[in-house]
């Protein structure tokens, strides 16, 4: 299915062609939180992308003509911006679980490699500039023109080319990508306490904690009478209260705990504590 999305704020367009995403950023933009459920390749056609890990102490710069591999469920902040006078344009290949199962059935020669010793680290990997990667993305650049729309089966072939390019770079990609074991359940409260500042749907929370949606709802009721959405808001406000008592500025605290709108933050804070944030901030 072909989709087009236009976002507010800095002018940007994102096109989705059967799990191949084209993104255009006409102006520099602030960082956006990215967490993909699936494995992905991200290629920078022009401009620059900077990836920052959760702790903010490590950055990966991805320039024009460079490509990175992003593991499934990996949490990073992306900054996409102009460089050398060129706006950011990028291509994002999303390898879904169903696609990888299909390819595992077809690529018999790579099944043996899933038993190789050693595993790739589950972190962003800047890929070498191989002929396969260069030719793959060069063949896809005509579709930066929104009036030129590819067929879904053609994009499916491009996903296959991207997968093969990874497998040719390092056989350990087969071990990682073709691991279809269900994730272990992880403690819901541990996950929420570590990730309260991010936006999640209930479906995403279920996925990230290794549960079906029905199981997640049942397990969550055992630990709280609140809905997950209300639990997250309460947690953010509790952390914000403590941060402001320690001298944090309202605007900074609001952003750090996950509120996108300061007015919404102030309203929610007053509803929970009966006072405005300005009464707490020093």
For residues 206, 207, 213, 216, the Cα torsion angle rounded to the nearest 10 degrees is -30
Query: 34 or 144: which carries more pLDDT confidence?
Result: 144
Secondary structure element (H or E) that encloses residue 258, with its range? none
- In sequence order, what are the residues at sequence separation of 6 or more whose Cβ sits closer than 8 angstroms to the Cβ of residue 6? 12, 13, 14
The 8-class DSSP code of residue 242 comes to H
pLDDT digits over 147-183, tens only?
A: 888 888 999 999 999 999 999 999 889 988 988 776 6
Per-residue pLDDT at 184: 63
pLDDT of residue 4 exceeding 50, the answer is: no
Query: Looking at residue 91, what is its pLDDT?
Result: 94
Sorted by sequence, the CB contacts under 8 Å of residue 213 that are 6+ apart come out as 202, 203, 206
Cα radius of gyration rounded to whole Å, the chain:
21
How confident is the model at residue 8, as a pLDDT?
39
Least confident range of 81-90, 115-124, 237-246:
115-124
Question: DSSP secondary structure string, 113-155?
Answer: GGG-S----SS-EEEP--HHHHHHHHTTGGGGSTT----HHHH
In angstroms, the Cα distances linking 241 to 1, 97, 98, 248, 253 are: 45, 41, 44, 9, 9
- At 216-273, the pLDDT tens digits run 999 999 889 999 999 999 999 999 999 999 889 999 999 999 998 899 999 999 999 9
Across all residues in the chain, what is the average pLDDT? 85
SS3 35: strand
CA torsion through residues 123, 124, 128, 133, sign: positive
Give the C-alpha separation, 156 to 153, whole Å.
Answer: 5
Cα 236 to the center of its chain, rounded Å? 21
Give 152-171 as a DSSP string.
HHHHHHHHHHHHHHHHHH-T
Burial of 64: CB neighbours in 10 Å, binned 0-12, 13-18, 19+: middle
Q: Is the pLDDT of residue 39 over 70?
A: yes
Kindly report the number of other CB atoms within 10 A of residue 117's CB atom.
6
């Amino acid at each position: 299915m072909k989709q087009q999305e236009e976002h507010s704020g800095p002018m940007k367009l994102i096109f989705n062609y059967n799990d191949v995403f084209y993104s255009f950023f006409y102006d520099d933009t602030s960082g956006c939180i990215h967490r993909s459920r699936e494995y992905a390749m991200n290629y920078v056609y022009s401009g620059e992308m900077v990836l920052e890990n959760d702790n903010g102490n490590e950055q990966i710069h991805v320039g024009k003509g460079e490509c990175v591999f992003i593991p499934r469920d990996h949490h990073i902040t992306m900054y996409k911006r102009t460089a050398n006078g060129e706006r950011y344009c990028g291509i994002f290949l999303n390898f879904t679980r169903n696609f990888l199962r299909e390819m595992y059935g077809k690529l018999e020669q790579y099944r043996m490699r899933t038993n190789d010793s050693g595993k790739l680290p589950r972190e962003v990997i800047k890929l070498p500039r191989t002929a396969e990667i260069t030719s793959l993305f060069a063949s896809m650049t005509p579709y930066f023109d929104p009036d030129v729309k590819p067929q879904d089966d053609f994009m499916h072939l491009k996903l296959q080319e991207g997968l093969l390019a990874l497998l040719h770079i390092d056989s350990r990609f087969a071990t990682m990508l073709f691991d279809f074991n269900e994730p272990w359940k992880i403690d819901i409260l541990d996950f929420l306490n570590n990730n309260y500042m991010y936006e999640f749907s209930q479906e995403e929370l279920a996925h990230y904690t290794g549960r079906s949606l029905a199981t997640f709802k049942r397990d969550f009721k055992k630990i709280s009478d609140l809905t997950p959405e209300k639990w997250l808001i309460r947690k953010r406000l509790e952390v914000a209260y403590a941060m402001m008592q320690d001298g944090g500025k309202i605007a900074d605290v609001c952003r750090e705990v996950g509120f996108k709108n300061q007015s919404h933050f102030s309203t929610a804070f007053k509803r929970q504590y009966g006072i405005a944030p300005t009464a707490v901030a020093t």
